[in-house]
Amino acid sequence: MTIISNNITEKVFNNDKKSISRTISKIETGNSNSIEILKELHKNTGRAYRIGITGPPGAGKSTLTNQITKFYRQQNKTVGIIAVDPTSPFTGGALLGDRVRMSEVGCDDGVFIRSMATRGSLGGLSRKTIDAADVLDAAGYDIIIFETVGVGQSELDIAKAADTTIVVLIPESGDSIQAMKAGLMEIADFFVLNKSDRPGADSAITAIRTILMFRNHDENDWTPTILKSIASENVGTKEIADEIELHKSYLLKNCIFQKNRQKNYKVRIKEIVEELIKDELWKDHRNKSLEESIVKVTTGETSPYQVAEKLFREFKSSV
């Protein structure tokens, strides 16, 4: 624990946006200092309500996030947004002259918007995103919204780590079937059918209802509803906020809130341990041992699984 990290921790507690940004950047690049900061921040976390907004590309997740944020701001609640979505305007900035539409809420002092890189070899996307949420939580934001594109396991993991997970769909043909295949149906606490003024809205709702009948029911009796919205015209925003409130009360009343958070801690701690082990595992000499074996794999003398088992034995005898 250094004086530097103490200073930055204090500044994060005071919602100093520059310090928040710097801390999240440290998390993203894997700077070891970030771990000390996160340890210090932890005691001040747990108060923010976390909302996951996910769905297929083009469903209007960012517009919806924008509207919900404005709604909470009118209630004087502060909002932190973390966008993990390669198709989100939040992640943008102007690219090659293509001016990406800027968020209406971006200049509000009670709003913090951050995008997380969805690629690159650094890995640990879901852990880093949740670490970043902890920073915003410790900084005192009342609401944290994860906006993630609903394709790919990491993105689903992030959406699932929220207290309330909203799946956004549109009336396009086949959209609900695709959502089911992508694993979106299982993680939704409720659905929003956005762009619901388009043709096919009612049959889309029927399709989602039918699929929901086949969903595995857990022990509790929460039934996901399907709300309609037209995010671009701010239609349905209040109903969505009400449904979030309803779900929150349900979680609290039935003691599921705390249980879910513990489940999320478990997933997260496991991921951290696995990363620590990987760092130890792939030190130079073991990488070299791997390199040397690969030629033999190419010639068919040995197989990937045999080499892996050998490296595993070597690792076990070394620690």
Q: Which of residues 102-131 bind a copy of itself (CB under 8 A)?
A: 118-120, 123, 125
Query: Toward a copy of itself, which CB reaches closer, 107 or 213?
Result: 213
Closest approach of a copy of itself to the CB of residue 306, in Å: 6
Q: How far apart are CA 233 and CA 64, in angstroms?
A: 10
Sheet holding 111-115, edge to edge: 111-115, 79-84, 143-149, 49-55, 164-169, 190-193, 226-228
Q: Which is nearer to a copy of itself, 35 or 246 (CB)?
A: 35
Q: Which of residues 29-58 bind a copy of itself (CB under 8 A)?
A: 35, 38-39, 42-43, 45-46, 56-57
Among residue numbers 57 through 76, which ones bind a copy of itself (CB under 8 A)?
57
Mark residues 284-303: x for contact with a copy of itself by CB under 8 A, - for none: ------xx-xxx-xx-x-xx
**Whats the size of the chain, residue-wise?**
319
Q: How many residues bind a copy of itself (CB under 8 A)?
A: 77
Footprint on residues 155-184 left by a copy of itself (CB under 8 A): 155-156, 174, 177-178, 180-183
| Per-residue binding letters, 253-282, with a copy of itself (x by CB under 8 A) | -----x--xx--xx-xxx-xxx-xxx-xxx
Say if CB 87 and CB 101 are below 8 A apart. no
- Tokens representing 262 are 């513990």
Q: Tell me, residue by residue from 140 to 159, as one string, x for binding to a copy of itself by CB under 8 A and - for no binding.
A: ---------x-xxxxxx---
Is the CB of residue 141 less than 8 Å from the CB of residue 48?
A: yes
> How would you classify the pairing of strands 226-228 and 111-115?
unpaired
Q: Provide the token pair at 144.
A: 């944290």
Which residue's CB is nearer to a copy of itself, number 238 or number 270? 270
Site for a copy of itself in 213-252 (CB under 8 A): 214
- Per DSSP, the residues of 233-275 read GTBSHHHHHHHHHHHHHHHHHTTHHHHHHHHHHHHHHHHHHHH
